[in-house]
Amino acid sequence: MDRPEAHPLSSKLAVLLFALVVLSWALTWTVTKFIVVQVTPLWAIAIRCAIASVALFFIQLVRGQLILPKLGDLPVLLTVSVLHMVAFSTLVALGLKFVPLGRSIVLGYTTPLWVAPGAWLFLKERPTLRQLGGIVLGLIGLALMFNPRDFKSDNTDALLGNGVILIAAFFWAANILYVRAHRWVSTPFQLLFWQTFLAGCVLVTLAITLDGVPHISWSVKLAAAFLFSGLCGTALAYWAMSMVNRSLPATTTSLGLLATPVVGVVCSVIGLGETITASLAISMITILGGIALGLPLRINLSSRFASVSQNPGAGERLRR
């Protein structure tokens, strides 16, 4: 059984913790960019999942939330593991080998643009005019990223990198739609250890089959990068987000999470010396503006980007 917290966090502490989550997720993109230069994408994500699984095991053990998955939650456990943790994460890691970090982050965060029409098609949720306007605005921003002056369509690596990141966004959107429709037995956070563990097993199997045994030239920087992505970017960030979701309004977390790609792009400039072109800046503002315009969706962004609400009945209330 889930052990509820005695009291939610104070507003100040919740905001501080939320800011740390946004920073951690933004930095994880930069760290992953560093890792995939030295390790294949499959092994990079497999190792990250292994580290996160160990951390989540102990976090949930201490909090009394380590459970065996219930039969009714097995479909969502498999869906999140395969679509998000394996497909999305691996494709993003692959794309980062060929695409600048700032551009990759903006492409990855187009996910909500695909969720809205997917919810209309598969969940029969008709969008409002405001939401349709947000989708159109976001798609205009996406089109601006591929204008001929800034994007060379004859560059095979660029086409591959941009393509796989957009496909990754589709996988993330499909995962969100299934999570949206699932009737939870346990809480999403209770399943998180099993999701990372299962994803790690799938990724290790794929990595051994496709890449063989890894030959990694370990260094202090590489080890620190893996620890950060597995601990701060995954395990601790999801735990912290579960606490934030209990303490702050959904609208606050939804809007706040839009800061993640902005902070990520800034990190790409500071950490990797990338340049923010006018085209990228305009595209990012337009895409995020479109997402923000469509925020009054039944699927709020806090569940999209975190999927760790502590309340198993939250999804049911959203349906009503």
CA dihedral 123, 129, 130, 133 (to 10 degrees): 100
Contact 190, 77 (CB under 8 A): no
Q: How long, in residues, is the chain?
A: 320
Distance CA 263, CA 227 (A): 20
Question: Is residue 95's pLDDT more than 50?
Answer: yes
Distance (Å) of CA 317 to CA 71, 97, 227, 299, 313: 22, 41, 37, 11, 6
Per residue in 138-185, pLDDT (tens digit) is 999 999 999 887 787 778 999 999 999 999 999 999 999 999 899 999
Residue 257 CB-half CA count within 13 A: 24
* pLDDT attached to residue 5: 47
CA dihedral 268, 273, 275, 281 (to 10 degrees): 20
Rounded to the nearest 5 degrees, what angle is found at the Cα of 107, between the Cα atoms of 46 and 162? 75
Nearest C-alpha neighbor of 281 from the set 266, 291, 300, 292: 266
Per residue in 235-285, pLDDT (tens digit) is 999 999 888 988 888 778 878 889 999 999 999 999 999 999 888 999 999
Residue 45 pLDDT grade (very low, low, confident, very high; cuts 50, 70, 90):
very high
Nearest C-alpha neighbor of 66 from the set 152, 157, 193: 193
For the residues 105-114, what does the mean pLDDT come to? 93
* pLDDT attached to residue 7: 57
Token pair 């089109």 is at which residue?
143
Distance (Å) of CA 297 to CA 22, 34, 83, 137: 21, 35, 22, 16
For the residues 115-120, what does the mean pLDDT come to? 88
* pLDDT attached to residue 296: 56
Nearest C-alpha neighbor of 185 from the set 7, 315, 8: 315
